[in-house]
Structure 1
Amino acid sequence: MTSTEPAHQDPVVHIVDDDEDLRQSLVFLLESVGIQALSYPDATSFLDEFDADEPAVVILDIRMPEMSGFQLQERLLSDGYPAPVIFCSAHGDIPMSVRALKHGAVDFLEKPYQTQRMLEVVQKHLLEARERFAEHAGRREITRRIDTLTEREREVLRLVIDGLSSQLIARRLEMSVKTVDVHRARIKSKTGSETLGALVRDVLLHRITV
């Protein structure tokens, strides 16, 4: 799996809540067991300050000024941000928790939360965060490499992924086998792949559309 350096960092916990006392107590709780935690009084502050490439877990309140926790969750989803999201709210009910989970939240805790339960949930998803960000970094890197290809090279690559030989690709695209082999060599060179098979594996592994 291709990854970049940030995926190897220890994940941080971002706490977004307009309740200052809760933010401070939660930061203290997490740091007491060696977990780095950063807090924000609202969604705008978080969006302005957080590092999108840094592995993380996000803890959100639901009711906040200007942008709610649900709206922030939707924004992060639309941006492709891979961090596990945990909701923690005093205003939660079953429909709210269902909505949060359907949109990709990994858990929904009620305030006042049980400290041990909070620690267990956060620690579990910190491990998941590392994997998610490694996958995200790998997908982004492979996509960047694919973007260097011309449309014709992409066309050849799609047929290679479909399992066609150079002879069949030549027949399909009405070109010589030698030309197909030139395209294959260029694809390998441009993407920095050891072999074309390795590139195909990475494309399929990261579910990338060529």
Structure 2
Amino acid sequence: MTANNAVVHLVDDDESVRHSVAFLLATAGFAVRVHESGLALLDAIDTLQPGCVISDVRMPGIDGLELQRRLKAAGVRLPVVVMTGHADVQLAVQAMKDGAIDFIEKPFDDEAMLAAVRTALKEGKAGEGRQAEMDATAARLASLSGRERQVLDGLLAGHPNKTIAYDLEISARTVEVHRANVMKKMSASSLSDLVRMVLRVDGASGR
């Protein structure tokens, strides 16, 4: 099994396609979980193992684009590769705009499919690392006291210590103490490092 036991979640309403693609992937050493529809995948959302999603773009009920959007809305960060027919390039482009990392046109070459899966799993592994880093940063942010967060907000706004002190009606020395505590709790090596990590987390949360 490849990619540290990652699972390829295959979604297609065509049983013959599910069977052939699943056989190809399994033969190449990938763990595969098949779903006969987008709704079936969403019904299993709480049990989805890390890996990637390979989905047909045209399916009854929920098509590949809507499935991708619902996964994203649910906070599922599995990389998505869509399978399209020759006339569905426009849909594939839209899927890429919505965050899919690749699309494959049917009938596809076996190696093209395997290459797309390898890329998706590699991206998924990198994404897990980035998410773990953001989760750790978010936890450190949550550990700040109310006053420390106010000082941090002042720093993010680009204000010098004296301005932050004036706005909060505290001494500049007290701001310096809180600033030092913020840097320590956030494990930031510099102000630019602090700003970068906080903006990354706030951007991901839509703040």
TM-score, scaled relative to structure 1:
0.77
Superposed displacement of residue 86, structure 1? 0.9
In the aligned structure 1, how far is the partner of 2:140 from the partner of 2:49?
22
Partners of 2:75 and 2:25 in 1: CA distance: 26
CA distance in 1, matches of 2:146, 2:31: 45
Aligned position for 2:6: 11
Mapping of 1:118-137 within 5 angstroms?
A: 118-137=113-132
How is 1:59-98 mapped onto 2 (pairs within 5 angstroms)?
Answer: 59-90=54-85, 92-98=87-93
Q: Which runs of 5+ in 1 are unaligned?
A: 1-7
Quick one: higher RCO (CA 8 Å, sep 6+), 1 or 2? 1
Matches within 5 A, 1:1-210: 9-50=4-45, 54-90=49-85, 92-149=87-144, 151-161=146-156, 164=159, 166-184=161-179, 187=182, 192-195=185-188, 197=190, 199-204=194-199, 206-208=200-202
Distance across 2 between alignment mates of 1:159 and 1:68: 46
Q: What CA distance in whole angstroms lies between the structure 2 residues aligned with 1:53 and 1:179? A: 48
Match of 1:5 in 2: none
Deviates more, 1:40-49 or 1:146-155: 146-155
Q: 1:174 to 1:9 in 2, by over 3 A?
A: farther
CA distance in 2, matches of 1:120, 1:42: 24
- Computed over aligned residues only, the root mean square deviation of the Cα atoms, in angstroms, reads 3.0
User: What is the CA deviation profile of residues 23-63 of structure 1, one whole-angstrom value per residue up to 9, with x for unaligned ones?
Assistant: 22212211222222211111222122245885322111123
- Superposed CA deviations along residues 92-113 of structure 1, whole A, max 9, x for unmatched, are 4232222222212222212222
How many angstroms apart in 2 are the aligned matches of 1:53 and 1:167?
A: 51
For the structure 1 residues 116 and 9, does the alpha-carbon distance in structure 2 shift closer, same or farther, using more than 3 Å as the test? closer
Q: Per-residue displacement from partner, 1:123-168 (whole Å, max 9, x unpaired)?
A: 1221111112221232233224323445543221123345655444
User: How many residues of Structure 1 are paired with residues of Structure 2 in the alignment?
Assistant: 200
Offset, 1:117: 0.9
Q: 1:113 to 1:14 in 2, by over 3 A?
A: same
Tell which deviates more after alignment, 31-40 or 85-94: 85-94
In the aligned structure 1, how far is the partner of 2:87 from the partner of 2:145? Answer: 50
Contact 1:11–1:129 (8 Å) recurs in 2:
no
* Matches of 1:169 and 1:40, distance apart in 2: 55
CA shift at 1:201, angstroms? 4.8
Taking structure 2 as the reference length, the TM-score comes to 0.78
Residues 133 and 53 from structure 1, CA distance in 2 versus in 1: closer, same or farther, beyond 3 angstroms?
Answer: farther
